[in-house]
């Protein structure tokens, strides 16, 4: 069974981004880029499926600028067998990415696609579900536990009220939540090995996909900053302030 894992190159989660002074976007020049943390969890899960003998091949896919090759090499250092870069300098929105991935799924015929539940840059939380819809496949989003047995997937999902478990036939889409696994660190020998793994490049045109954005960003701004308040001396002071000043208790 082939498993496809899309990975997104995003601003590292430790970086506090700045809005450009003209309000047209976020300044991401010269900031540290990393693999979206949820996608790292997705790669890890796929690699574990391979190590367990369930998956035969793990293919990492990324869409965007040439720099995404680095993200694919990271995925291969964790254990993906090969990488595919859909190279474009166009702005990619989730629907376009879902269409690009559908074109690759049609070509590669994986039984399972594992994606991060959301990217920490646009916080959209859409691509996996959209891909499932375009393919007509079942989906299990926000997974905290995945079991594959034969042609069936049993997935525990993190939902607002707690947990729920779904069963579905493959092929299927799974999106990862934080507690599905703890991704391993790529070791130096594996990083070296990853450099020799195959990495193919295709373009949206070659896949026959129109990636034109549907949403236009008119402006970006920083939200109103919350002012730091005061330090209170002790519990009595705190209760007095909450009662008399803030009037919330």
Partner 1 sequence: MAILVIAEHDNASLQPATLNAVSAAVKIGGDIHVLVAGSGCGAAAEAAAKVAGVAKVKVADAAHYADQTAENIAALVIANAAGYSHVIAPATTGGKNFMPRVAALLDVAQISDIVGVESADTFVRPIYAGNVLATVQSADAVKVITVRTTAFEAAAEGGSAAVETVAAAADSGQTKLVGRELTKSARPELTAAKIIVSGGRGVGNSENYHALLEPLADKLGAALGASRAAVDAGFVPNDYQVGQTGKIVAPQLYVAVGISGAIQHLAGMKDSKVIVAINKDPEAPIFQVADYGLVADLFEVVPQLTAAL
Q: How far is the CB of 245 from partner 1 (least distance, A)?
A: 9
Position 149 contacts partner 1 (CB under 8 A): no
With both helix axes pointing from N to C terminus, report the angle between 68-78 and 37-51 in degrees, rounded to the nearest 10: 40
Using the rule CB under 8 A, is 169 a contact of partner 1?
A: yes
Please identify which residue in 54, 62, 74, 126 interacts with partner 1, judged by CB under 8 A. Answer: 126
Q: Which of 7, 2, 1, 11 is nearest to 194 (CA)?
A: 7
Cα separation of 47 and 200, whole Å? 20
DSSP states of 112-172 as a string?
EEEEES--TTT----HHHHHHHHHT--EEEEEEEEEEETTEEEEEEEETTEEEEEEEESSE
Name the token pair of 116: 């991060």
36 near 7, Cβ under 8 Å? yes
**Residue 76 CB neighbours (<10 A):** 26
Q: Which of 90, 159, 192, 206 binds partner 1 (CB under 8 A)?
A: 159
Task: Report whether 73 contacts 174 (CB < 8 A).
Answer: no
Specify the residue, 69 or 129, whose C-beta has the smaller distance to partner 1.
129
Contact pattern for partner 1 over residues 225 through 244, marking x by CB under 8 A: -x-xxxxx-xxx-xx-xx--
Residue 127 near residue 137 (C-beta atoms within 8 A): no
Any contact of residue 139 with partner 1 (CB under 8 A)?
A: yes
Shortest distance in whole angstroms from residue 170 CB to partner 1:
11
Closest to partner 1 by CB, 188 or 233? 233
Shortest reach from residue 96's CB to partner 1, in Å: 9
Tokens 């993200």 found at: 71
Residue 145 interacts with partner 1 (CB under 8 A)? no
Q: Which of residues 2-31 bind partner 1 (CB under 8 A)?
A: 11, 13, 16-17, 19, 26
Least separation in angstroms between CB 139 and partner 1: 6
Q: Which of 103, 141, 146, 202 binds partner 1 (CB under 8 A)?
A: 141
Residue with tokens 């994606």: 115
Q: Which two tokens stand for residue 80?
A: 């993906």
Q: Which of 56, 187, 203, 217 binds partner 1 (CB under 8 A)?
A: 217
Note whether 8 and 84 are within 8 A (CB).
Answer: no
Q: By CB under 8 A, what part of segment 179-208 binds partner 1? A: 179
**Cα 220 from Cα 106, distance rounded (Å):** 36
Parallel, antiparallel or unpaired: strands 112-116 and 172-176: parallel
- Of 20 and 107, which has the nearer Cβ to partner 1? 20
- The answer to whether residue 215 forms part of the interface with partner 1 (CB under 8 A) is yes
Closest contact distance (angstroms) between CB of 16 and partner 1 is 6
Nearest distance from C-beta of residue 128 to partner 1, angstroms: 8
Q: Which of residues 52-71 bind partner 1 (CB under 8 A)?
A: none
């Amino acid at each position: 069974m082939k498993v496809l894992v899309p990975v997104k190159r995003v601003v590292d989660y430790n970086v506090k981004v700045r809005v450009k002074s003209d309000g047209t976007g976020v300044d991401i020049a010269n900031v540290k880029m990393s693999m979206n943390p949820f996608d790292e969890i997705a790669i890890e899960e796929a690699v574990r499926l391979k190590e367990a003998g369930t998956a035969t091949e793990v293919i990492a896919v990324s869409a965007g600028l040439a720099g995404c090759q680095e993200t694919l090499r990271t995925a291969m250092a964790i254990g993906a067998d090969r990488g595919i870069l859909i190279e474009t300098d166009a702005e990619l929105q989730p629907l376009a990415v879902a269409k690009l991935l559908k074109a690759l799924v049609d070509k590669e015929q994986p039984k399972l696609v594992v994606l991060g539940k959301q990217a920490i840059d646009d916080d959209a939380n859409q691509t996996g579900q959209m891909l499932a819809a375009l393919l007509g496949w079942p989906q299990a989003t926000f997974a905290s536990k995945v079991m594959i047995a034969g042609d069936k997937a049993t997935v525990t999902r993190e939902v607002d009220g707690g947990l729920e478990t779904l069963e579905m036939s493959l092929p299927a889409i799974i999106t990862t939540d934080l507690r599905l696994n703890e991704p391993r660190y790529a070791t130096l020998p594996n990083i070296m090995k990853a450099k020799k793994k195959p990495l193919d490049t295709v373009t949206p045109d070659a896949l026959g996909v129109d990636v034109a954005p549907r949403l236009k960003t008119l402006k970006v701004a920083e939200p109103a900053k919350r002012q730091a308040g005061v330090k209170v001396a002790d519990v009595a002071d705190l209760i007095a302030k909450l009662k008399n000043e803030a009037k919330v208790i």
